[in-house]
Amino acid sequence: MKSKFSELWKRHFDGPAGISEVWLIAFPMIISSGFDVFIMFIDRLFLSRLEPVQMAAMMTGGLTAFTAGTFFIGLISYSGAIIAHLYGAGRKKDCSKMLSQSFMLAVLAYPLALLFIPIGLASFHWAEHSEIQIRYETEYFILTMFVTTIFGLLRIPFASFFSGIGRTSVIMVANFAGLIFNLVIAYVLIFGKYGFPQMGIKGAAIAIAASSAANLAVLVFFYLRKKNREEFHISKSFVYEWPLMKKLLKFGFPSGLEFMINLSAFTTMVTMFHSYGETVASAVTIVFNWDMIAFLPMLGLQIAVTTLVGQNLGRKDEGNAIRATWSGLKLNLIYSGFMLLLFLTMPKYLVKVFEPSILPPDWDQIAAMAVPMIMMMSVYPISDGMFIVFSGAIRGAGDTTWAMFASAILHWAGALYAWFLTHHLVLPPVTAWIFFVLIFPLFGLTFWLRFRSGKWKGKNIMPVEEAVIDLEPSPATQKE
């Protein structure tokens, strides 16, 4: 019995790219993503105590603001995958130089993102939201665009650096600092405590901005520590390097475009349901808050898979790149299976969490819609897990153009389907939601088929002639 267990452990957990190695990188990122989820979750929970419509406005206003920067976020964050390849090949000097290239892009991205403001403001009216919701959305959107966006963009290069070299615990510490700042400031400003005026949704926007600034400060602190400066030759890294910039643009452009297209489609999906009115908007926001709990922590596991695939391909070890992907999927299935059971068995309790202190007249309607919607979410956690893991592996291998087209088609098909259900067929909200969530298993299936086909192989970010230019011994060589 013991030998069977040992054999099982070796097959799935032990050795390079096994579950144990994936978990070491993934765990801090899962916790980090959990902190990010909790920040948004708690702010919306605080706002629900004032007015459910403010909670709904924070979701749509925040999503719209985030969409404005998604192209640049996707482009810049792909530096993490490239750094993983460079680190795997032992090119540590180039790791810090890649961060410098991505930081330059982050600075340039801010004024370009601000050009999106008129479109974002107009989108609230195009979606035919209520006047009160538009007012709250506008307040949150403007503050987020001008303040939070700059901190969010500047922190991406540093977070990508630490994820690329596998030191994800640093990101966890930074996100924890952001969480603490947000909790304190959100509580004080949203409710008006300790002599401060009650600011509601404006207070939530300020708290998110402060959280992002604290996160950035911690990442910069760790990056500039003496040990890190010496290991990655940071003093000589603040230079423009066209070969590295070209690589980031080549592989990051499709990734950034994909991220922008996907989130635009997702925002459109949410907006379609919000167009039913404030009551449905509040119900859908409660549902998506729990969906966020299910989805975002899995992104931490995606980063771990992308990192290990990148590092192993940088070492020309395709076998362990594949093993890392399957190890990531096994971990993801455990988590997504738990969320599936939670949605099926406890929907009433999940809705009750957002029950306001003073019940609005339509609260019973909100709860009556939110409960079956949460139960229907059990359709896609496992599919989401497959989509996240296999897309992470494919992007880590450099197959970003295919990922962009496939993901964009799937997401916009979903957005058009949401419009068809809500505005053409004009189905009741819950009925439309039931039909809507049934399309999500297609996402995971599509990316699994691509991974299974092996067509992502040979699209290595670092060709052989580049990989042999080792400035320092690779981690694998050092162990030997």
Has residue 198 got a pLDDT over 50? yes
What is the tens place of the pLDDT at every residue in 56-81? Answer: 889 888 888 988 888 999 999 999 98
Dihedral of the alpha carbons of 144, 149, 150, 155, in degrees to the nearest 10: 130
How far apart, in whole angstroms, are the C-alpha atoms of residue 288 and residue 322? 32
Lookup: tokens for 28: 């801090």
Has residue 354 got a pLDDT over 90? no
Has residue 473 got a pLDDT over 70? no
What is the tens place of the pLDDT at every residue in 35-60? Answer: 888 888 889 889 988 888 888 889 88
Has residue 480 got a pLDDT over 60? no
User: Mind spelling out the 3-state secondary structure of 199-222?
Assistant: CCHHHHHHHHHHHHHHHHHHHHHH
Better pLDDT: 240 or 304: 240
Given this model, what pLDDT does residue 296 score?
75
What is the tens place of the pLDDT at every residue in 365-382? Answer: 999 999 999 998 888 788
Given this model, what pLDDT does residue 202 score?
93
Given this model, what pLDDT does residue 2 score?
57
How far apart, in whole angstroms, are the C-alpha atoms of residue 92 and residue 314? 12
Average pLDDT over residues 351-357: 85
What is the tens place of the pLDDT at every residue in 326-344? Answer: 998 988 888 888 888 999 9
Confidence of residue 20 (pLDDT cuts 50, 70, 90): confident
Query: Tell me, what DSSP letter sits at residue 425?
Result: S
Neighbours of 170 (CB within 10 A): 23
Average pLDDT over residues 21-32: 83
What is the tens place of the pLDDT at every residue in 252-301? Answer: 999 888 888 888 888 788 778 877 888 888 888 888 888 878 887 788 88
Has residue 468 got a pLDDT over 50? no
Average pLDDT over residues 412-416: 90
Confidence of residue 229 (pLDDT cuts 50, 70, 90): very high
How far apart, in whole angstroms, are the C-alpha atoms of residue 61 and residue 40? 12
Has residue 477 got a pLDDT over 80? no
Confidence of residue 18 (pLDDT cuts 50, 70, 90): confident
Calculate the average pLDDT of the chain.
86
Has residue 466 got a pLDDT over 60? no
Nearest-5° Cα angle at 95, 89 to 96: 155
What is the tens place of the pLDDT at every residue in 250-262? Answer: 989 998 888 888 8
Confidence of residue 464 (pLDDT cuts 50, 70, 90): very low
Helix (H, G, I), strand (E, B) or coil at 435: helix
How far apart, in whole angstroms, are the C-alpha atoms of residue 427 and residue 76? 40
What is the tens place of the pLDDT at every residue in 111-132? Answer: 999 999 999 888 888 877 788 8
Given this model, what pLDDT does residue 170 score?
94
DSSP assignment of 257-318: HHHHHHHHHHHHHHHHHHTT-HHHHHHHHHHHHHHHHHHHHHHHHHHHHHHHHHHHHHTT-H
